[in-house]
């Protein structure tokens, strides 16, 4: 039984064991083991050359990771909070994402940028954001956002072994909230771009990913009590995302609620919603509804209320069912 | 090294220090501060220390979600507040600077309201604890993103310069902050423009757990001023008067049109990085004990005692008074109403945009 | 008769004349008059204190603009190409956008960040991008993207007079492509958030903005030749955007094609499409179709082909009409 | 100032120069380069100059969309190519560096294919002109965003260090680039890590139209090295041998584990910033004429002539030969097929993702 954050540390250790090109870098990832302990134990095991504390600069972290990757390492860089990716955003967008393309495929950067994301931890607007829209809209990046320990293991391994830059978002409010058995197999991987059907159902589809899976699951439980059977899909991977599964499952039931906690406008679910309407309009029995964060900066005092919680999800479900 | 208090020499190799550990005045010029101001400085240092301790208690009892203690930084912070003109000059502080903004005059009720996320917070409880701010006192509301307040600080200074307002900006940050691109972009712009701004680095040689020598290859922070064509001063950050005289000279130089300066106050972080940190993982008890020998409060207290300006009795009286003030404030805050839910939707723009109004309506029913 | 780029320079001059707090800053905006001449003549007229060449740092430009604005100026900052906003992106997202909110309304930053955007000028991936998604998804920013000289004047004035940070995108391939009479009135303004119906029609609605308005207009002409009557809407303003007009017009005709040249996934039109489906599903006679750039970095050799040109628009129209 | 060619002193106030305008060797140590290498250096400078002129013609005739001429930068660029170990060390150049990559060995056909956006471009015509690149020669493919290649350069150097490969990185950039946060973040990281990297600033004192004194308050670029704990050298960038000896020493110091260095080559930009620029708006003809007196080609040619290594005849023969080569290449390129439309969709990822495949299919029918 292990938590998500423990799984991150153990998976990193396994991958560093397997492949000596894998190195870990970031602010406080060394002796400190990361401010969330996501790199705990690695410094002692692998030493300062493979577990590198960096200066306080996200541009240096992401940019240097690009150079390391190009030179043959497989860096896994930590951004301490997803909110702090922005000082290094140009390195992600202009360097990492476009390197393979602009070099005609002669150079590439196999690297992972890990970052804890999401609200509900009383962190205010710089320890709560979910910037996945910015990554997903940047061709050349892959984007992953698991919600369980097992998926964390499988997807992190896949990300590290991938030949392209992968942004690996971690649901920080679930870091220690869930424990589960995680497969032992050191080669247990989960493919990018495959959603997971967490629960099958007959009345409507609930789709979410990352931290919001917790609230979505709670809503589904609540619905079960009301004899409403929801199918629950965890996207897990946002670029590529599993359009095929989504379209197939939504077409079957005709009703869908989309849950994701970043601001509403151009939330990742805007894309999912648009695709559903464009591709399977005639199967829809009700408009897809998005339940998301608000179009405000992330507040402090209303830390929980900002999140699309079970109540808001249930209201959307009701609307969709009564349409 | 120090010719004249009006003229410290930049790029000094030993930190500028004016009082000894024993509290003796060691400078080649006379201390011209009035007794009252000297006492006030010490009282503010003491109040800041007590505030820190109170914050930690509040955090442990669940009344604050987070604290980043400033113990060990008081000398630099209180000196900064005395070096500027209150209400005229602008501060762009960082999260560890409640000592500074308190000494500048930020009311305790506002401070405690902010750190407890109260309805009485002038910033509407929009940020996590440790974000000082005051429109009246020209204290800019920072963001948590390290160094991101420095470009705005420089912009304000450029505005002061081109409009000849006679104002000065003082902005502070840690050693870790100097590695960020924003620090560089901003201080370089200030240097090119000769903007009236003083950059104060509170160098505690740690960024959370990361040691100074992993932060930069430079021997110190002050020397970085060379990269920007401005003077850089290395100051003993545990000596409130050294910090004061150097900062004050830099502020007045800036006001006089002589351009920006960088001041490195060598301080110590007595506590963990924050309530979310456990510093025993990366530093030893012995290290910490050694640091505490150099406590800035001890030194200033000895200085005052040597002059007959302070006694054990004064100490106890002042402590009692300030702790009483804290308690009264905490009681007031306990009675404040909850932060209204609907505040979540305000102040995104000057006027609420239709889609936010819709979201608000939909949420509040 | 004047072009868009001339209009920018003249509007800036008028506003600087009107309000001495308005200052212009950026790389090469001084003596050089901007690399596109969008600030031509200002340096001679207003001098170096109000027309400021900055160091080569977008973080310095945007960040200093925030400080200037807070201190009482009304800076209009130029980012030389929209593609170069990313080194300054954190200043926009963490400082400018959130200042009013995080300070409880005690501080605000009335500032404009101008930037030429868009492809079709043989600029490769760093002189062609359309990063509006990144801005629109950031609560606290307003976003404008005109396509004509008159709208440029009216919207730029409104932006400068606004109390909040406005990202002002300029369609660089149309800078000199269109000339028109522009109202003389020094107080001619266009409100943010109001779309313009460029052409009314009966068969379907075409919606676009910025540079892509040119291709959209061409497509509409072509359709007219085929006796297909398209209504053409120019959004002009993306945050806020004119949902009301869009929903009303689309509901009326039931068919819509959305044209915008940034990459497909999470293109601004994803939001428009999602909103249409959610709000007026039952009025739709066909799924809304998006015609956009591809999910690749902006290419060099295929500079024109990347753009959603008239042919691709017409194919989408055909699909929508035949649905 | 110069004790020994093995040991230049950093933070020199006058730029290091080894040959006089008249082409005399003025250094206190002997020039130990072989005649052949000296001649090659000059030939490459000349070829680079002619290439520049050819580019401008190609641009005017519509065969190139853009050019950023390097005339005036040849000495620094060619010296850099000679200072590193070809095929071992890595270059992270910037857009104005075709002189450097040519001298390193980038085949002319590849260069011309890149700048004309040809099907024969090894980077598949994905970028606008002025983006040198070669996987074989370890020349990193830069992006147009100024200074954004410097953090990757440092990352590669750290990789070299921790894996003890004995390689060195050389990265170059303009004076404007030093204002970007990325420059700072990267060079600071390199300093803290002692990474084997040489930072070469080709300082032409202009960023498009912006003057050096608006760019920074620092007296020069070399001094910025102090901020990062590494040596900084000021070099006469019109003197190819001065550039060579200083860079070579820095490269070998880096290889020997002595850490990074910053070299400022004071060059001149003879042309407009680019074909999209009109420099008559911001500088005078006289300024330009004065600059051209210090042409780096003239100086090196005189040096060679003084040694009897070069003549008018050699000059004419070489020019003819190289221009012939250019023409042959241009003819070859003229016959190349168009860049395939479908290339637009490749290389976004190692394997094409389904949604891109769909977009490709939809577009190509
Ligand atoms: C851009 C950014 N990156 C990372 C962090 C997380 N973080 C908060 S404080 C801190 C260390 C700051 O160290 P320093 O600047 O030396 O200040 P000190 O805390 O020592 O006073 C870090 C890494 C942040 N707040 N912002
Ligand atoms: C991040 C970024 N901002 C702006 C530009 C536009 N730009 C291209 S070259 C240039 C000037 C560069 O000057 P410098 O670094 O001195 O190099 P030089 O051209 O003088 O060799 C500018 C501003 C850019 N390419 N990238
Ligand atoms: Mg510190
Ligand atoms: Mg230059």
- Decide: D201 in ligand 2 pocket, CB within 6 A: no
- Decide: D276 in ligand 2 pocket, CB within 6 A: no
The reported pLDDT for the residue numbered B2 is 46
- Record: contact D192-B213, CB cut-off 8 A: yes
Q: Residue ranges of the domains in chain C?
A: 4-174, 196-322
CA of B176 vs chain D CAs: smallest distance (Å): 12
Q: Is B82 a catalytic residue?
A: no
> Does the beta carbon of B211 lie under 8 angstroms from any beta carbon of chain D?
no
Residue B104 Cα to ligand 1 midpoint, Å, equals 24
Residues in chain D within 8 Å Cβ distance of A73: 159, 163
- Residue pair B128/A124 in contact by the 8 Å Cβ criterion: yes
CA-CA distance, D231 to D8, in Å (whole number)? 10
Interaxial angle between packed helices C212-225 and C310-322, expressed in degrees from 0 to 180 and rounded to the nearest 10? 60
pLDDT in tens, chain D (365 residues): 445 566 899 999 999 999 999 999 999 999 999 999 999 999 999 999 999 999 999 999 999 999 999 999 999 999 999 999 999 999 999 999 999 999 999 999 999 999 999 999 999 999 999 999 999 999 999 999 999 999 999 999 999 999 999 999 999 999 999 999 999 999 999 999 999 999 999 999 999 999 999 999 999 999 999 999 999 999 999 999 999 999 999 999 999 999 999 999 999 999 999 999 999 999 999 999 999 999 999 999 999 999 999 999 999 999 999 999 999 999 999 999 999 999 999 999 999 999 999 999 999 98
- Record: contact B184-D184, CB cut-off 8 A: yes
- Record: contact B216-D181, CB cut-off 8 A: no
User: Vertex B269, ends B266 and B270: CA angle to 5°?
Assistant: 130
The reported pLDDT for the residue numbered B5 is 62
Question: Residue A263: which of C133, C139, C278 has the nearest Cβ?
Answer: C139
- Residue pair D253/D264 in contact by the 8 Å Cβ criterion: no
- Decide: D237 in ligand 2 pocket, CB within 6 A: no
CA of B342 vs chain A CAs: smallest distance (Å): 9
Residues in chain A within 8 Å Cβ distance of B208: 27-28, 32, 35
CA of A238 vs chain B CAs: smallest distance (Å): 25
Of C125, C126, C127, C134, the active-site residue reads C127
The reported pLDDT for the residue numbered D209 is 98
- Neighbours of A, requiring at least 3 CB pairs below 8 Å, are B, C, D
Of D282, D283, D294, D302, the active-site residue reads D282
**Which residues of A are known to be catalytic?**
127
Question: Residue B176: which of A56, A300, A306 has the nearest Cβ?
Answer: A56
- Record: contact C125-D215, CB cut-off 8 A: no
Query: Which residue from A minimizes the CA distance to D354?
Result: A240
CA-CA distance, D197 to D188, in Å (whole number)? 12
- Decide: B176 in ligand 1 pocket, CB within 6 A: yes
Q: Is B273 a catalytic residue?
A: yes
- Record: contact A95-D121, CB cut-off 8 A: no
Among D168, D174, D190, D181, residue whose Cα is nearest residue D93: D174
**Which ligand is closest in space to the CA of residue A85?**
1
Of D149, D273, D299, D301, the active-site residue reads D273
The reported pLDDT for the residue numbered D1 is 41
- Please determine whether the domains at A4-174 and A196-322 fall in the same fold group of CATH: yes
Alpha-helix residue ranges (DSSP H) falling in chain A: 4-18, 42-46, 58-71, 89-90, 99-102, 132-136, 149-161, 212-225, 243-253, 268-280, 310-322
Residue D208 Cα to ligand 2 midpoint, Å, equals 7
The reported pLDDT for the residue numbered B365 is 84
- Decide: A54 in ligand 1 pocket, CB within 6 A: no
Among A283, A296, A232, A278, residue whose Cα is nearest residue A259: A232
- Neighbours of D, requiring at least 3 CB pairs below 8 Å, are A, B, C
Fold of C4-174: Rossmann fold (3.40.50)
Interface of D with A in 75-134 (CB under 8 A): 90, 92, 121-127, 131, 133
- Would you tell me how many other CB atoms lie within 10 Å of the CB of residue D322? 20
> Does the beta carbon of B155 lie under 8 angstroms from any beta carbon of chain C?
yes
Average pLDDT over residues A308-314: 98
Is the pLDDT at A186 greater than 90? The verdict is: yes
CA-CA distance, B145 to B180, in Å (whole number)? 10
- Would you tell me how many other CB atoms lie within 10 Å of the CB of residue D193? 22
- Residue pair D160/D168 in contact by the 8 Å Cβ criterion: yes
Tokens of D316: 């004419």
Query: Which residue from C minimizes the CA distance to A297?
Result: C139
**Residue B6 pLDDT grade (very low, low, confident, very high; cuts 50, 70, 90):** low
Number of Cβ pairs < 8 A linking chain B and chain D: 84
Could you report the per-residue pLDDT of B191-229, keeping only the tens digit for each?
999 999 999 999 999 999 999 999 999 999 999 999 999
User: Which is it for the CA torsion C36, C41, C44, C45, positive or negative?
Assistant: negative
How many distinct helices (H) and strands (E) make up chain D?
Answer: 12, 7
Taking the alpha carbons at both ends of chain B, their separation in whole angstroms is 69
Q: What pairs with residue C26 in β-bridges?
A: C53, C78
Q: What is the mean pLDDT of chain A?
A: 98
* Cis amide linkage into residue B159, ω under 30° from 0: no
- Would you tell me how many other CB atoms lie within 10 Å of the CB of residue B2? 18
Ion ligand 4: residues, CB within 5 A, are D 174-175, 204, 206-207
- Residue pair C96/B349 in contact by the 8 Å Cβ criterion: no
**Helix %, strand %, coil % of chain A (to 5):** 40, 20, 40
- Record: contact D181-B179, CB cut-off 8 A: no
- Decide: B181 in ligand 1 pocket, CB within 6 A: no
User: Per this entry, what is the length of chain A?
Assistant: 323
Taking the alpha carbons at both ends of chain C, their separation in whole angstroms is 42
- Decide: D177 in ligand 2 pocket, CB within 6 A: yes
CA-CA distance, A206 to A195, in Å (whole number)? 12
* Cis amide linkage into residue A240, ω under 30° from 0: yes
Query: Which residue from A minimizes the CA distance to C92?
Result: A86
Residues in chain B within 8 Å Cβ distance of A35: 208, 276-277
Q: In the sheet where C196-199 sits, what is the strand order?
A: C196-199, C230-234, C204-208, C256-263, C289-293
Q: What pairs with residue A199 in β-bridges?
A: A232
DSSP tag of A281: G
Residues in chain D within 8 Å Cβ distance of A101: 126, 347-348
Q: In the sheet where B169-174 sits, what is the strand order?
A: B90-92, B169-174, B197-203, B261-266, B232-236
Residue D175 Cα to ligand 4 midpoint, Å, equals 5
The reported pLDDT for the residue numbered D2 is 46
CA of B170 vs chain D CAs: smallest distance (Å): 19
- Record: contact A95-D159, CB cut-off 8 A: no
What does each C-alpha distance from A170 to A38, A133, A143 come to in angstroms? 10, 15, 11
* Residue corresponding to tokens 């000494």: B103
What does each C-alpha distance from C37 to A296, C79, C176, C226 come to in angstroms? 36, 13, 11, 40
Query: Which residue from A minimizes the CA distance to D140?
Result: A107
- Decide: C299 in ligand 2 pocket, CB within 6 A: no
The reported pLDDT for the residue numbered C70 is 98
Average pLDDT over residues C72-84: 98
Could you report the per-residue pLDDT of C10-65, keeping only the tens digit for each?
999 999 999 999 999 999 999 999 999 999 999 999 999 999 999 999 999 999 99
Percentage of chain A exceeding pLDDT 90: 100
Among B297, D354, D344, residue whose Cα is nearest residue A241: D354
Residue D44 Cα to ligand 3 midpoint, Å, equals 49
Average pLDDT over residues A196-204: 98
CA-CA distance, D71 to D245, in Å (whole number)? 21
Q: Domain B35-339: what homologous superfamily?
A: Thiamin diphosphate (ThDP)-binding fold, Pyr/PP domains (3.40.50.970)
Is the pLDDT at B1 greater than 60? The verdict is: no
Q: Residue ranges of the domains in chain B?
A: 35-339
Could you report the per-residue pLDDT of B157-169, keeping only the tens digit for each?
999 999 999 999 9
Tokens of B187: 């201080």
User: Per this entry, what is the length of chain C?
Assistant: 323
Q: Is C127 a catalytic residue?
A: yes
Tokens of A192: 């990018």
Q: State the virtual CA torsion across D149, D152, D158, D162 in degrees, nearest 10.
A: -140
The CATH code that applies to domain A196-322 is 3.40.50.920
Q: In the sheet where C51-53 sits, what is the strand order?
A: C51-53, C22-26, C74-78, C112-117, C166-171, C142-144, C237-239
- Residue pair A247/A271 in contact by the 8 Å Cβ criterion: no
Question: Residue D128: which of C53, C124, C264 has the nearest Cβ?
Answer: C124
């Amino acid at each position: 039984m292990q938590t998500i954050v423990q799984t991150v540390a153990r998976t990193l250790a396994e991958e560093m064991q397997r492949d000596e090109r894998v190195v870990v870098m970031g602010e406080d990832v060394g002796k400190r083991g990361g401010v969330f302990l996501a790199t705990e134990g690695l410094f002692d095991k692998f030493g300062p050359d493979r577990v590198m504390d960096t200066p306080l600069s996200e541009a240096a972290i992401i940019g240097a990771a690009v150079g390391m990757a190009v030179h043959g390492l497989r860096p896994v860089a930590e951004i301490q909070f997803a909110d702090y990716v922005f000082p290094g955003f140009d390195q992600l967008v202009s360097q990492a994402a476009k390197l393979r393309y602009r070099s005609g495929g002669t150079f590439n950067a196999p690297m992972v940028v890990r970052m804890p994301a999401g609200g509900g931890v009383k962190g205010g607007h710089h320890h709560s954001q979910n910037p996945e829209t910015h990554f997903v809209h940047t061709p050349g990046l892959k984007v992953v956002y698991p919600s369980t320990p097992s998926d964390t293991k499988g997807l992190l391994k896949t990300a590290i072994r991938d030949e392209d830059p992968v942004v690996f978002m971690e649901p920080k409010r679930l870091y220690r909230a869930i424990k589960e058995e995680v497969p032992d197999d050191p080669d247990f991987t989960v493919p990018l771009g495959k959603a997971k059907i967490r629960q099958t159902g007959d009345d409507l589809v609930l789709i979410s990913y990352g931290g919001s899976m917790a609230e979505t699951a709670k809503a589904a439980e609540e619905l079960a009590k009301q004899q409403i059977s929801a199918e629950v899909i965890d996207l897990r991977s946002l670029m590529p995302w599993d359009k095929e599964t989504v379209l197939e499952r939504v077409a079957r039931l005709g009703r869908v609620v989309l849950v994701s906690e970043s601001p509403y406008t151009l939330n990742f679910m805007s894309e999912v919603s648009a695709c559903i309407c464009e591709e399977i309009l005639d199967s829809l029995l009700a408009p897809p509804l998005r339940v998301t964060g608000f179009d405000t900066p992330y507040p402090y005092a209303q830390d929980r209320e900002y999140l699309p919680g079970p109540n808001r999800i249930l209201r959307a479900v009701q609307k969709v069912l009564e349409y | 090294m120090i010719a004249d208090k009006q003229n410290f020499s930049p790029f000094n190799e030993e930190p500028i220090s004016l009082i000894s550990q024993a509290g003796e005045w060691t400078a080649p010029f006379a201390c011209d501060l009035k007794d009252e101001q000297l006492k006030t400085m010490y009282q503010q240092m003491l109040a800041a220390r007590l505030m820190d301790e109170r914050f930690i208690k509040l955090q442990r009892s669940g009344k604050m979600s987070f604290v980043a203690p400033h113990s060990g930084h008081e000398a630099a912070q209180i000196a900064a507040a005395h070096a500027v003109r209150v209400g005229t000059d602008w501060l762009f502080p960082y999260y560890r600077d409640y000592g500074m903004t308190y000494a500048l005059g930020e009311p305790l009720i506002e401070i405690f309201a902010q750190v407890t996320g109260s309805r009485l917070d002038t910033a509407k409880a929009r940020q996590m604890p440790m974000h000082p701010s005051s429109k009246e006192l020209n204290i800019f509301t920072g963001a948590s993103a390290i160094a991101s307040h420095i470009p705005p600080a420089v912009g304000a200074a450029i505005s002061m310069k081109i409009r000849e307002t006679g104002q000065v900006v003082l902005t502070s940050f840690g050693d870790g902050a100097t590695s960020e691109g924003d620090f560089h972009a901003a201080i370089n712009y200030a240097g090119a423009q000769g903007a009236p701004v003083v950059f104060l680095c509170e160098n505690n040689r740690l960024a959370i757990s990361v040691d100074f020598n992993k932060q930069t290859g430079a021997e110190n922070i002050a020397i970085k001023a060379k990269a920007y064509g401005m003077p850089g001063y290395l100051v003993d950050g545990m000596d409130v008067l050294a910090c004061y005289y150097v900062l004050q000279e830099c502020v007045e130089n800036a006001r006089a049109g002589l351009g920006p300066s960088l001041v490195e106050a060598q301080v110590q972080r007595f506590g963990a990085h924050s309530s979310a940190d456990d510093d025993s993982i990366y530093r030893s008890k012995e290290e910490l004990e050694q640091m505490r020998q150099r406590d800035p409060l001890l030194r200033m207290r000895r200085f005052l005692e040597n002059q007959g300006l302070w006694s054990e009795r004064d100490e106890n009286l002042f402590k009692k008074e300030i702790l009483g003030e804290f308690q009264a404030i905490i009681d007031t805050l306990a009675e404040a109403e909850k932060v209204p839910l609907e505040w979540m939707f305000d102040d995104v723009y000057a006027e609420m945009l239709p889609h936010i109004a819709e979201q608000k309506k939909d949420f509040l029913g």
